[in-house]
Chain A
C-alpha cells in the first residue's frame, strides 16, 4: 500500500497505482495525475466520455463494463479507446475513472 501526493492532495493506492477506496477518493485532481503517468497528452471530451461511461456503469452494476459494452455505449471502437488510453481500457481508463483494478487471469 502506498500514498500518492498530487497538487496537495493524497490518495491511497496499490502497487499498480489503482485507487484503494475507489469513488470515495476520486476527483478531477486524480484524473490529472493519472494523465501524467499513463502517457496521455491532452484530456479531451472523448476521454471524459469514456470515464463517465465507466463510472456510470460501475455505479449501476457494481462491475466494470465488458469491452464490447464500453465500445457500444461510447461509440468508440477498441482501436479508438487505445488511442485515447495507450495502456488500454483496463489499466488506463479504469484506473483514471477510479474503478477497482481488473482481476482474474490477465
Chain B
C-alpha cells in the first residue's frame, strides 16, 4: 500500500532499527567470526586476515569521495557481484572494502579496480594518509565557513602518493569540518582543516522577534557577548539582541540558534589548521589537535594555500619523526617551538589560548629551546 497523505498514520511502520549486520557478512567472515589469528598488510591497500582454521580473507581497500551518486554505488555493487559474491563494506573513514577468500579472486579484483583509472584508488592502509573525514560544506549546510568536498579533493590530489604507499612514520589522519561545530574528527586528528569566521553576526531586527527564541541566542554565546536589546523597526519597538563585537570570537553558535543572526562572509571566512590530535591509546594517551595556522583564505576551487601548508607539515614530519610517532607525539617530543620552526609556520598570538582554562596551556617552566623566533625576539 502506498503512502496516503490524508491518513498518514495508516499502515505506518516504525522503530525497526537497522538491519542486523550478520545478514550481510561474506561467508568467510561469518564462518570465522571471533576466530581470527593474525593479519598482514601484503601491499598498500591490501590486507589478509588468517583464521585459526586456516581460512584467509583478503581485503582490498579503495578510496571514495564519500559524497557519491547512486550510479557510483551501483558500480561498487557490480564489482562486488563479479569478484566478492556480492559483499562489500564501508570503513569508518568512508573507504570501501572488497573482501574475497582466495588469492586469485583478490588479484582479479585488484586488476579490475586498476582498470577503472583512478576511480577506485587502492590504498589507505598502514602508515599512509587515508581518507579525509569531512562534512557538508557548501553542498548542504547553512552554517559553514568553508566548503568540505572541494578542499578535500584538493588536499587528497596533492597527497595522493601517500594514499597508495606506506612511507610515513605512522598513519596521518586528516579531517575537515566546515565550521567549529566540528562535526566529525577535527578536534582529534593529526592534521585538521577547520572553517572559521572573522566577523561578528549581522542582526536582522525586522525578522528576529518572529523567527528567533531570543533567550536561546543569548545563552548560545560562550563569551556572553549577546545581550537582549530593543530596536526600532518601522517606528515600532521590537525585542531583539545586540552583540558586543569586542567580545565576539565569531563562533556562529548564535546563528545556529537564531536564523536572524547570519555571519558568513566571503572575505572574512576561511580555514584554520590544527595539528597533533589522536584518538588511539597506543603509546600515548589520546590528544586534542592544536591551532597552528589561524587563518588561510577560502580560495576555491583548489585552496592552494591550505594544500601547501598541509604538504609542508606532512613532509617535515615524514623526514623528522621517529617510526611509530604520530604528529602530536613528534611535536611534543621536539617541543612546539621547534615544530613551528621546522615547519616554517609563523607563530601568532592566535595560537595562545585565552579561553577560561587557558593558564594550563602556557609555559610554566624555564625549559625551552632557542629558535629563529626567540632569536628575532631577543635581539630586539
Contact = CB atoms under 8 A, between A and B. Distances in A.
Mutual binders A and B: yes
Interface of A: 14, 18-22, 24, 39, 58, 61-64, 86, 99-101, 103-105
A86 B211 contact: no
B256 A14 contact: no
Interface stretch (B26-34, B90-98, B213-221): B213-221
A100 B213 contact: yes
B242 interface: no
B211 A63 contact: no
Contacts of A62: 213-215, 239
A101 B239 CA distance: 17
Given A39-B9, A103-B258, A20 B211 contact: yes
A24 B5 CA distance: 30
A20 B256 contact: no
B8 A86 contact: yes
Interface string B204-234: 0001011111111000000000000000000
Contact of A63 (B8, B215, B256): B215
Given A24-B210, A58-B213, 16 more contacts: A14-B211, A19-B210, A21-B210, A22-B209, A39-B5, A39-B8, A61-B215, A62-B215, A63-B214, A63-B215, A63-B216, A86-B8, A103-B212, A103-B216, A103-B258, A105-B256
A53 to B, nearest CB: 16
Interface centre among B207, B209, B239, B258 (most CB of A within 10 A): B209
Interface of B: 5, 7-9, 181, 207, 209-216, 239, 256-259
5 contacts: A39-B7, A63-B214, A100-B210, A100-B213, A104-B256
A13 B215 CA distance: 22
Nearest to A64: B213
Given A62-B215, A63-B216, A20 B207 contact: yes
Contact of B259 (A24, A39, A58, A103): A103
Contacts of A86: 8-9
A104 B220 CA distance: 10
A100 B211 contact: yes
A15 to B, nearest CB: 11
Contact of A101 (B8, B209, B211, B215): B211
A18 B211 CA distance: 9
Nearest to B255: A103
Nearest to A37: B5
Nearest to B214: A62
B318 to A, nearest CB: 37
Contacts of A103: 212-213, 216, 256-259
A105 B183 CA distance: 11
B369 to A, nearest CB: 43
Closest 10 CB pairs of A and B: A39-B8, A63-B213, A21-B210, A62-B215, A22-B210, A20-B210, A103-B257, A63-B215, A100-B211, A62-B214
Nearest to A61: B215
B228 to A, nearest CB: 9
Contacts of B210: 19-22, 24, 100
Nearest to B228: A62
Contact of B181 (A18, A24, A61, A105): A105
A104 B258 CA distance: 8
Interface centre among B8, B181, B210, B239 (most CB of A within 10 A): B210
A86 B7 CA distance: 11
Contacts of A101: 211
Contacts of A19: 210
Nearest to B219: A63
A105 B182 CA distance: 12
Contacts of B8: 39, 86
Interface centre among A61, A62, A105 (most CB of B within 10 A): A62
A64 B212 CA distance: 10
A63 B9 CA distance: 30
B39 to A, nearest CB: 38
Nearest to B5: A39
Contacts of B211: 14, 18, 20, 100-101
A86 B181 CA distance: 30
A102 B258 CA distance: 9
Nearest to B10: A39
Contacts of A14: 211
A104 B213 contact: no
Nearest to B258: A103
B257 A104 contact: yes
A101 to B, nearest CB: 7
